Amino acid sequence: MRETTKRTMVLGMLVATALVTGAPTAEAQEVQAQAAPGQAAPATADGPRYSLSYAGRFVPATHDAVAMGLGAGPSLRLGMEGLFMEELGLGLVVHGDTRSATPFGNSMMLDWERTGVMAELDYGMRFFDERVRPAVRLGLGYMHHELDLYADGGTSNDWDNHFEGSAGSLAFTAQAVVDLTLLRSSTRAWAFGLYGAWGLAGHTSANFDAMEPVYEEGDRVERAPIDAGSAGALRLGGEIGFSLVWRP
| Size of the chain in residues | 248
Higher-confidence residue of 102 and 15: namely 102
- Domain-by-domain residue ranges, the chain? 45-100+117-144+167-214+231-246
- Residue 7 has a pLDDT of 55
Predicted confidence (pLDDT) at residue 175 exceeds the cutoff of 50: yes
Mean pLDDT over residues 105-113, rounded? 80
Domain 45-100+117-144+167-214+231-246 falls under CATH 3.90.660.10: no
- Residue 158 has a pLDDT of 59
* Band of pLDDT at residue 106, cut at 50, 70 and 90: low
Give the pairing type, strands 108-124 and 132-151.
antiparallel
* Band of pLDDT at residue 194, cut at 50, 70 and 90: very high
Higher-confidence residue of 103 and 20: namely 103
What are the two backbone dihedrals, phi and then psi, of residue 79, each rounded to the nearest 5 degrees? Answer: -125, 155
Beta bridge partners of 238: 58, 198
DSSP H/E element including 123: strand 108-124
- Residue 237 has a pLDDT of 85
Is residue 140 within 8 A of residue 190, CB to CB? The reply is no
With vertex at residue 109, the alpha carbon angle to CA 107 and CA 111, rounded to the nearest 5 degrees, is 175
Predicted confidence (pLDDT) at residue 244 exceeds the cutoff of 90: yes
Mean pLDDT of the chain: 80
With vertex at residue 172, the alpha carbon angle to CA 169 and CA 176, rounded to the nearest 5 degrees, is 165
Mean pLDDT over residues 104-115, rounded? 81
Predicted confidence (pLDDT) at residue 22 exceeds the cutoff of 70: no
Write the pLDDT tens digit of every residue in 79-88.
Answer: 999 988 999 9
> CA 21 to CA 18: how far, in whole Å?
5
Higher-confidence residue of 109 and 18: namely 109
* Band of pLDDT at residue 25, cut at 50, 70 and 90: very low
Predicted confidence (pLDDT) at residue 3 exceeds the cutoff of 70: no
- Residue 126 has a pLDDT of 94
Higher-confidence residue of 93 and 111: namely 93
Half-sphere exposure of 154 (CA within 13 A, CB side): 4
Write the pLDDT tens digit of every residue in 26-78.
Answer: 444 444 444 445 554 445 556 899 999 999 987 765 555 454 455 567 899 99
* Band of pLDDT at residue 138, cut at 50, 70 and 90: very high
